Structure 1
Amino acid sequence: MTSRLPLDGIRVLLTRAADGGDALTRLLHAAGAVVESSPFITIGPPPDERPLTAAISQLEHCSWLVFTSAHGVASFAARFPMPLPERLKIAVIGPSTAAAIEQRLGRAVDLIPPAFVAEALAESLVLTAQRSCRILLWQAQDARPVLAAKLRNAGLDITAVSGYTTVESAPADALARIEDNDVVIFASGSAVRALVHEVGPAECARRLRGKLIACIGPVTEAEARRFGLHVEIRPHASSALALVEGLSAYFAGGRPGCST
């Protein structure tokens, strides 16, 4: 008899774009889940190309290149098709961004913080980077200011540019999609806000009641709770593997809840 998979038959709604090559999608399928992908945000062009062009022209003088998302890596790679300077070190916020670096830029990263949040990345860079070095931070237009602020406050020479914009684009039938699934996964605060702005905070909280809400990362969890959503799963590690393990434990009866 074939053993039952931990998420066998569980219907999961991913509120971000995903395909067969997406790690979270692969792991969910491998655990037996039925996955529906419905992006609640889209990635738009940067607000102004000129700062990006200027930053790239000075890249050879930088010691560190910092990314906070795979979207940022894609944006950079589209504008810098040549090999990176060998002396340039790369810091990223987490393993998904590191994988994007290897895939799109052909380099291993030099620094990943122990916790996959901007605060931890800032602390790791402050401890690692020399005060005389120059840092290029490539991020979203609506990125939290904490990373750039902490680096500047530590005396580091940092240039922060907006490599792309995040556009709220929850589908008109978002509530119907939620109704059809058992689990709703939010991977960013932007996706939470997109849903709330589409249907309203009260209706959002009401229709998600009874659904299992899972979040990747403490920032996403905080945004969901700000709008009155009950987050049941938020693993300590902000990774696809940790999230699927948390979901599997929940449906196995372990109900691990949220890590703090």
Structure 2
Amino acid sequence: MIQSLPLLDKTVLIPRGENQAKSFSQLVERYGGIPIEIPLIAFRPIEKNQRLHEALLVLDTYDWIIFTSNVTVETFFSFLKKEGVSKAFPKIAVIGKKTAEVLMERGLSPEFVPSAYVAETFVAEFIPLIDKDSRVLVPKGNLAREYIARSLTGAGAVVDEVVIYETYMPDESRLKLANMLADNQLDILTFTSPSTVDHLMDVVKEYRLDEQLKNCIIGCIGPVTEKKLRAYGLMVHASPKEYTVKEMINSTIAYLDMEE
């Protein structure tokens, strides 16, 4: 093995869409791998959203707004622009480095970022910052967990959750994924969320490709995604403690080194 190219000639599934896949693919290429971009997840704004419209009208009355992903930031601001809202912004809490970066590109800085990028850590570290009856706005996707809102409500906060986008798997991804799995053309599968796992497994079940998965190395980001993979009976070979794409790739490389 060439030490500087630990992924040499290995095909790596990149489960993100065109706008999000570039840096992921470049990282794989840097280590000699072959990125295969098949978006397992895509997002589209909810078309009619009366609840969000009402929340935006009173945006300045919230003490906090929580963004759990860069998609949430981008979608929320697209609605903000469309509605022409210019009210004062509440304090901002985010989960994840990328979410903070996307926010800062818009000239806003988060007041709070947890030490680990999972809902449980976020809640444990964030609750001491809020008072009883603090008003909190949580824009989210249709498949997002309710853990944050439920926990904050239990701590006495008044939480408004608003679904602003829906998650789906692009139709064009289904056949491409099925064909590549059937032909054993994917060496490493990477998963960035529980939804990416569900969407891939929908295809696996539809085309009866369970056996083909046994030939793949599997890496993921975060304990919730790992739990989802294990619920399907899949082996997880790489699941780093730091929940980033870079560390997932490093963890995958470490696994490959052990298998040498």
TM class, shorter-length: 0.7 to 0.9
Query: Would you say the 8 A contact 1:205–1:229 is kept in 2?
Result: no
Deviation at 1:91, TM superposition (A): 1.0
Equivalent of residue 102 in structure 1, options 97, 101, 104: 104
Higher relative contact order (CA 8 A, sep 6+): 1
> What is residue 228 of structure 2 aligned with on the other side?
223
Query: Would you say the 8 A contact 1:65–1:89 is kept in 2?
Result: yes
Query: Would you say the 8 A contact 1:205–1:227 is kept in 2?
Result: no
Query: Would you say the 8 A contact 1:216–1:239 is kept in 2?
Result: yes
Matched, 1:245 2:250: yes
Query: Would you say the 8 A contact 1:132–1:156 is kept in 2?
Result: yes
Equivalent of residue 237 in structure 2, options 216, 232, 236: 232
Letter in 2 for 1:90: I
- In structure 1, what is the Cα distance between the partners aligned to 2:149 and 2:20? 34
> What is residue 258 of structure 1 aligned with on the other side?
none
- In structure 1, what is the Cα distance between the partners aligned to 2:253 and 2:85? 41
Query: Would you say the 8 A contact 1:168–1:190 is kept in 2?
Result: no
Q: TM (normalized to structure 2)?
A: 0.87
Q: Deviations over 1:211-247 (max 9, x none)?
A: 0011111111111111111111111111122112212
Deviation at 1:24, TM superposition (A): 2.6
Deviation at 1:134, TM superposition (A): 1.3
Matched, 1:171 2:174: yes
Q: Deviations over 1:72-123 (max 9, x none)?
A: 11110101237976662211121122222123x2222221212211122122
Letter in 2 for 1:209: K
Deviation at 1:177, TM superposition (A): 2.5
Query: Would you say the 8 A contact 1:17–1:38 is kept in 2?
Result: yes
**Are residues 19 and 140 of structure 1, via their aligned partners in 2, closer, same or farther at CA, if it must alter by over 3 Å?**
closer
Deviation at 1:10, TM superposition (A): 2.2
- In structure 1, what is the Cα distance between the partners aligned to 2:57 and 2:164? 15
Query: Would you say the 8 A contact 1:135–1:159 is kept in 2?
Result: yes
**Are residues 19 and 165 of structure 1, via their aligned partners in 2, closer, same or farther at CA, if it must alter by over 3 Å?**
closer
**More helix by proportion, 1 or 2?**
2
- In structure 2, what is the Cα distance between the partners aligned to 1:149 and 1:23? 34
**Are residues 66 and 202 of structure 1, via their aligned partners in 2, closer, same or farther at CA, if it must alter by over 3 Å?**
same
- In structure 1, what is the Cα distance between the partners aligned to 2:124 and 2:256? 36
Query: Would you say the 8 A contact 2:137–2:160 is kept in 1?
Result: yes
- In structure 1, what is the Cα distance between the partners aligned to 2:63 and 2:51? 18
- In structure 2, what is the Cα distance between the partners aligned to 1:20 and 1:164? 17
Letter in 2 for 1:29: E
- In structure 1, what is the Cα distance between the partners aligned to 2:240 and 2:18? 20
**Gaps spanning 5+ residues in structure 2: where?**
none
Q: Deviations over 1:153-193 (max 9, x none)?
A: 11011111001011134512313223212111111111111
**Are residues 15 and 76 of structure 1, via their aligned partners in 2, closer, same or farther at CA, if it must alter by over 3 Å?**
same
RMSD: 2.5
Q: How many residues align?
A: 253
Query: Would you say the 8 A contact 1:188–1:220 is kept in 2?
Result: yes
> What is residue 54 of structure 2 aligned with on the other side?
54
Query: Would you say the 8 A contact 1:13–1:177 is kept in 2?
Result: no
> What is residue 28 of structure 2 aligned with on the other side?
28
Letter in 2 for 1:128: L
> What is residue 204 of structure 2 aligned with on the other side?
199
Q: TM (normalized to structure 1)?
A: 0.87
Query: Would you say the 8 A contact 1:12–1:34 is kept in 2?
Result: yes
> What is residue 88 of structure 1 aligned with on the other side?
90
Letter in 2 for 1:236: K
- In structure 1, what is the Cα distance between the partners aligned to 2:215 and 2:225? 19
Q: Deviations over 1:24-45 (max 9, x none)?
A: 3332222222111101222123
- In structure 2, what is the Cα distance between the partners aligned to 1:218 and 1:212? 17
Deviation at 1:130, TM superposition (A): 2.5
